[in-house]
Amino acid sequence: MISVIILTFNDECQIANCLESIKDLADEIIVIDSFSTDRTVEICESYGARVYQNPFINQAIQFNWALDNVPIKNDWILRLDSDEILPGKLREEIRERLAANEDYAAYALNRRMIWMGRWLRWGRMYPHYIVRLFRKGKARYEERTEEHLIVDGKIGRMKNDFMENNRKNNLDYFTEKHLATARGELREILAQERNELDESIEPKLFGPKVNRTRWLKLHVYSRMPLFIRPFLYFFYRYFILLGFLDGKPGLIFHVLQGFWYRFYIDAKVYEERLKRQPEKNWEEIF
């Protein structure tokens, strides 16, 4: 059997869809709520979920808190977000693969992301494998803003997809969320400049996806000039990787997530560096 852990905050508009999609898959549903003020907790409890509340810092810290503080009875743990749904084909595949007792410590699931009513298929959006299903005691999140699951053992892949369709994700919500995550990324960039950031994941160009992504971020993206790299990143995703094929929703997403968000982080880095410079004597200038 499977234990599912879901992180929530004011998700009454979508949590029922998530829970409905796993009710015949998991015999234990654990919800870690960040003190919702709507009906989220009530809806979760109506599906038999055990709800715990903990202040939110970031996704990785919140999930690791669950691993450390909540009793989990099953050998397999599935992490889901409140806006995600497991279709029937994937549920059946999970049952069959786990019953076969394959020699894997974890499985990556392929995500289909819905944005403004459209499945985003281009611009590095699909396929997009994320490790979400793992044996208890074999995985833990790296506690960073852009979190990765560190797995002790081999990772397999499920053939069928799951879906992300965030009903809260209008442009205001998207902007506010990314302003918050930008603060976390800024702290990590500044810590890296001071050589105070531990690398839990080994950067490897020819390693697994998370290792390759970390290598590219450290040795390519972070070494590019500020303000130039967001343009290049957007160009790569939107034109080279054909993000434009997803129409207006693709244009909006890649401009905001691939350009604006990265440009904003660079602007925050620049702002922090200005604070370190000695203050100018404006009397002398005038």
Mean model confidence pLDDT for the chain? 95
Structure tokens at 32: 């870690």
Based on the fold, state whether residues 48 and 13 are members of the same structural domain: yes
- Each residue's pLDDT tens digit, 57-68: 999 999 999 999
pLDDT of residue 101: 95
Based on the fold, state whether residues 201 and 137 are members of the same structural domain: no
Based on the fold, state whether residues 57 and 157 are members of the same structural domain: yes
- Each residue's pLDDT tens digit, 126-139: 999 999 999 999 99
φ, ψ for residue 151 (rounded to 5)? Answer: -115, 135
% of the chain surpassing 90 pLDDT = 86
Based on the fold, state whether residues 155 and 29 are members of the same structural domain: yes
* Count of domains observed in the chain: 2
Q: Do residues 129 and 63 touch, judged by C-beta distance below 8 A? A: no
Based on the fold, state whether residues 158 and 176 are members of the same structural domain: no
Say which amino acid occupies 44: C
pLDDT of residue 157: 97
The band of 164, judged by pLDDT with boundaries at 50, 70 and 90, is very high
**Element of type H or E holding 128:** none
Based on the fold, state whether residues 176 and 244 are members of the same structural domain: yes
pLDDT of residue 202: 86
Based on the fold, state whether residues 139 and 183 are members of the same structural domain: no
Q: Which of 138, 164, 190 marks a domain boundary?
A: 164
The answer as to whether 144 is a domain residue is: yes
Tell me how far apart the alpha carbons of residues 134 and 109 are, in angstroms, rounded to a whole number. Answer: 11
The answer as to whether 122 is a domain residue is: yes
Based on the fold, state whether residues 112 and 142 are members of the same structural domain: yes
pLDDT of residue 200: 79
Q: Do residues 4 and 78 touch, judged by C-beta distance below 8 A? A: yes
Q: Which of 164, 199, 215 marks a domain boundary?
A: 164
Domain around 189: 171-276
Strand-pair partners of 6: 31, 80
Based on the fold, state whether residues 177 and 231 are members of the same structural domain: yes
pLDDT of residue 111: 98
The answer as to whether 282 is a domain residue is: no
pLDDT of residue 146: 86
Based on the fold, state whether residues 216 and 234 are members of the same structural domain: yes
Residue 22: name the closest of 37, 33, 6, 36 by CA: 6
Tell me how far apart the alpha carbons of residues 166 and 174 are, in angstroms, rounded to a whole number. Answer: 10
DSSP H helical ranges for the chain: 15-20, 40-46, 59-69, 88-99, 171-193, 209-219, 229-235, 247-253, 261-276, 282-285
pLDDT of residue 199: 74
pLDDT of residue 49: 98
Q: Is the pLDDT of residue 162 over 90?
A: yes
pLDDT of residue 195: 85
CATH number of the domain encompassing residue 18: 3.90.550.10
Q: Is the peptide bond before 278 cis (omega within 30 degrees of 0)?
A: no
pLDDT of residue 168: 95
- Each residue's pLDDT tens digit, 198-254: 777 888 888 888 889 899 999 999 999 999 999 999 999 999 999 999 999 999 999
The band of 81, judged by pLDDT with boundaries at 50, 70 and 90, is very high
pLDDT of residue 126: 98
Q: What is the pTM of this model?
A: 0.93
Q: Which of 132, 164, 196 marks a domain boundary?
A: 164
- Each residue's pLDDT tens digit, 2-27: 999 999 999 999 999 999 999 999 99
The answer as to whether 284 is a domain residue is: no
The answer as to whether 286 is a domain residue is: no
